[in-house]
Structure 1
Amino acid sequence: MTVHITGKVRKPGLYTLAMGARVADAVTAAGGPLRGTATSSVNLARRLVDGEQIVIGAPSGPTQADPATTTTLDLNSATPDQLEQLPGVGEVLAARIADFRTTHGGFTSIDQLREVSGIGAKKYEEIKGKVRV
């Protein structure tokens, strides 16, 4: 997966990391934070999502968005671990989404999420804006 690391790190830029890598791995790949930079504005233990941007040293506060909640996941390529980052999606439901994708040859529309066992109208409304095909 590819992520963009920016902000107060030694070598900002694009980095290709293994699926399942964490924010801490991305920060390390970018040479670590600059001296005196706090990393408290990011969750270093969070799993990365392909295509996301990580900002190190950004001021935290109500205007700072969490990349995990703003990143749009591709239903046809997201791993079960990545799918678990969606609201209300745990290990079992993430596995069902991945199984549906495999069984049906991929998603052709977001609406097909309604066909996955365990995704009712409420859950569909919560996650439909956070996924794409």
Structure 2
Amino acid sequence: SKFKWYFPMRDHDKGPKLSHAYAFYEHVTLPRYFSGSEEADHVQRKAEQGESEEETRLFSPWFTKATSYIEWGTGIDSYFSSLKMVACMLFFAGLLNWYNMRFFASSEYSANKQSGLSGLLSGSAICTEYEW
């Protein structure tokens, strides 16, 4: 920051550094697992907060296997499994509605559409022939 009142020690060598703060946040707050050959039955062992003796990596929110969630307990495992299922169901429901949205946005549904409507609004079943 260029404001001295906001960050008074910005020019000091021993002042706080953003990179050090983020490294602390990443190693203490975010969940990490032991990398390497510590996987047993494809379950990634969760590292303790602040682990510095062995090499660790961050858990990926997209590619972590469901069997690895058991390290946090049954509730977290059930939560993420149901979250993935709901996301898949909503995605397929959106695909089913895509054809309807295209029809409602077309001139086949409403030949005298108002100008200046957003794409999402014209894709709904709103009456666009009259201005309210």
TM-score normalized by the length of structure 2? 0.25
Question: Which is richer in helix?
Answer: 2
Say which structure is richer in strand. Answer: 1
Between structure 1 and structure 2, the one with the greater Rg is 2
Q: Which has the higher contact order (CA 8 A, sep 6+)?
A: 1
